[in-house]
Amino acid sequence: MKFKTLDMENKNNGAGYQLEDVYIISAVRTPIGGYRKMLKRCSPVYLGVVAAKEAIRRAGISPSEIDETMVGCVLTSCHGQNIARQISINAGIPVTSPSVTINKVCSSSMKAIIMATQAIHLGDRNVILAAGAESMSNAYYGVPRGDNNNDMSGPFVDSMFEDGLNDAFTKLRMGACAEKTCSEYSINRKEQDEYALESYRRAHHAWKEGLFDEEVVPVKFLDSNEVFQDEEYKRLDPLKVPCLKPAFIPDTGTITAANASAISDGAAALLIASSSFIAHRSCQPIAQILGYAEAAVEPVEFTRAPSFAVKKLLSKIGISVEEVSLWEVNEAFAATAIVFLRDMNLDSSRVNVRGGAVSLGHPIGASGARIVVTLLHALQVNQIGIATICNGGGESTAVAIKRL
């Protein structure tokens, strides 16, 4: 099968050299910790370094061969300048290698993958560390500056909500926006709860069968303790799910703590390389990036956005829905995945086969990379998979990969 991957039909970029095919040579993630729980001591930088070091180790290359580091992170306030730069240097990458931190809300780290793909495809870079890191447990509170420098009498602002979980246009919580989509699609509470329970069941099965072992690198602490499993999937009491109160709209709301993703901490990292680098170094790629797409809708309708990006992507690379073996759609809410399944007319047995953000957690800046990592490890050789994620502001991104 011949795909129209990354404009294959026009391999010369007009600058006198050939466009590069783009490959993934390693892909890992940390466990995902719950809010103020097992990873609460870890900054986003620390989590990012753990994932980055393991990605480099698995790729079998020297840190000095990495041309740039691109990291998605949303809640960066008070964590120091340019989190990507901090991760890069602390992971052992030379100071001469540049870095950039990307904030596209929940799509941040998938955007990092896309930007890395673009740079390598054009021949500007050979190897890029594309990652995402988030510690929602360590999001800072802020105080607006008053009329003078010493005036801190204003109200405290929670940066986690202000910069991550509130719609910038309506000031509604993301969940309140999702409730509007539930109403438009006639998605009831029972359907969302059933979806959530299945997400938890799949995550529990995946951990029990060791299906996550290959993709997860433990987070170790100075006291010799370590975290090696996701936290959220073990916390559910199925009997309590129907009894939970609505989280965003009192009495009549359908979204609850059980059928929404959990506030979380975690990181994911991929090393992305050009075909020339792989040939020169005799590396063994584990996947090829076939293409990517982005889309945007009305901000309040962000939960509908993934299908728009995916339809653009399918058209761009010239394949059908039937040719995609597995799908990952970020479960910001169970409703997000339900809308995607309806819009794409998909069989749920091929979507989020190892659970999703509802059961695993949603460290917002890391989730885009996380779902690509999970998708890659779930695919069999020669299978195609697509990962997609929505983000606040009404946007979405999607990436297609082929397992090698």
Active site amino acids? 106, 362, 390
CB 309 within 8 Å of CB 397: yes
State phi, psi for 355 to the nearest 5 degrees. Answer: 85, 175
Residue 140 DSSP symbol: P
Following DSSP, what letter does each residue of 4-19 receive, concatenated? -TTSGGG-B-SSSSBP
If phi > 0 it is left, if psi is from -120 to 50 it is alpha, else beta; for residue 223 that is alpha
Q: How far apart are CA 112 and CA 85, in angstroms?
A: 14
What value does the CA radius of gyration of the chain take, rounded to a whole number of Å? 20
Cross-strand partners of 287: 24, 403
CB atoms under 10 Å from CB of 285, counted, come to 20
Instruction: Please name the helix (run of DSSP H) or strand (run of DSSP E) that holds residue 371, with its range, or none.
Output: helix 367-378
- Cα 379 to Cα 8, 90, 286, 352, 374: the distances in Å are 23, 31, 10, 11, 9
